[in-house]
Amino acid sequence: GAVVSQHPSWVICKSGTSVKIECRSLDFQATTMFWYRQFPKQSLMLMATSNEGSKATYEQGVEKDKFLINHASLTLSTLTVTSAHPEDSSFYICSAIRDRGPGNTIYFGEGSWLTVV
Amino acid sequence: DAKTTQPPSMDCAEGRAANLPCNHSTISGNEYVYWYRQIHSQGPQYIIHGLKNNETNEMASLIITEDRKSSTLILPHATLRDTAVYYCIVRNYNTDKLIFGTGTRLQVFP
């Protein structure tokens, strides 16, 4: 079964509003989570690294004020898309590391579809 | 981040072995090779990973060349449900980041 869960699976919101996506590690504590976005027929693009108890680290070109990431506990990270616009419509995916270390598995969530109308 | 190169697409007959190649010539000595696959509209599914030894699990086998500059993912008996995009990724040793390339779209046909 899934070890990383995202909620909601899909969401439709109006332009200008904010929407929050949750990423939970179900049976382990994840000190580090990652957020990706994926446009149709394209590969996953890493947006940011989320570390529990500290500020997220954003990849170049990703607006940190638009994509707010909070990693308040060892099992939950949230991505808030603020003032959403139609171009923010995308598939958002999170991943979590069970234990730090180069040989350990990184698990992905099921993804969340965001449509901004 | 070490880059990977994969063929954009491959076909495989159902029941036959699917061999998916990957080049990672700039890989560092302590970086692992990971394989994931993504079925349409789902999150990536972990398949296997390795450092330098060949690895096998219930899903697949991973063959890494001795110089570690390339690897091959083997699905021993492909089924229609194995149709997906397969990603070969080198995991960054310091940051744990997984940077996805374009992957190989594997089409399994009856």
Give per-residue pLDDT as tens, A91-104.
999 999 877 666 67
Q: Give the separation between CA A18 and CA B65, rounded to whole angstroms.
A: 48
Calculate mean pLDDT across residues B63-79: 96
Within 8 A of B100 by CB-CB distance, chain A residues are 36, 43-46
The torsion of the CA quartet B44, B90, B65, B8, rounded to 10 degrees, works out to 50
Q: Give the separation between CA B101 and CA B92, rounded to whole angstroms.
A: 14
**For residue B58, is pLDDT > 90?**
yes
Mean pLDDT of chain B: 93
**Residue B44 carries which DSSP code?**
-
Q: Which residues contact A57 (CB under 8 A, 6 or more apart)?
A: A48, A49, A51
Dihedral of CA B16/B18/B72/B62: which sign? negative
Asked if A46's CB is within 8 angstroms of B99's CB, the reply is: yes
**pLDDT, position A31:** 85
Q: What is the pLDDT of residues A3-14, one digit of tens each?
A: 899 999 999 999
**pLDDT, position A101:** 65
Task: State the count of interchain CB pairs (< 8 A) between A and B.
Answer: 57
Within 8 A of B6 by CB-CB distance, chain A residues are none
**For residue A88, is pLDDT > 80?**
yes
* Proportion of chain B above pLDDT 70, given as a percent: 98
Tokens coding B87: 């990603």
Q: Give the pLDDT band of residue B55 (cuts 50, 70, 90).
A: very high
**pLDDT, position B64:** 96
**For residue B71, is pLDDT > 90?**
yes
Tokens coding B95: 């940051």
Mean pLDDT of chain A: 92
Tally of helices (H runs) and strands (E runs) in chain A? 0, 11
**pLDDT, position A100:** 66
Q: Give the pLDDT band of residue A39 (cuts 50, 70, 90).
A: very high
Asked if A34's CB is within 8 angstroms of B98's CB, the reply is: yes
Q: Are A88 and A81 in contact (CB under 8 A)?
A: yes
For residue B51, what is the nearest residue in chain A, using CA coordinates?
Answer: A103
Cis before B21? omega within 30: no
Q: Give the separation between CA B51 and CA A47, rounded to whole angstroms.
A: 26
- CB crowding A20-54: b at 16 or more within 10 Å, else e: ebbbbbeeeebbbbbbbbbeeeeebbbbbbbbbee
Tokens coding A114: 């965001």
**For residue B31, is pLDDT > 80?**
yes
Within 8 A of A93 by CB-CB distance, chain B residues are 43-44
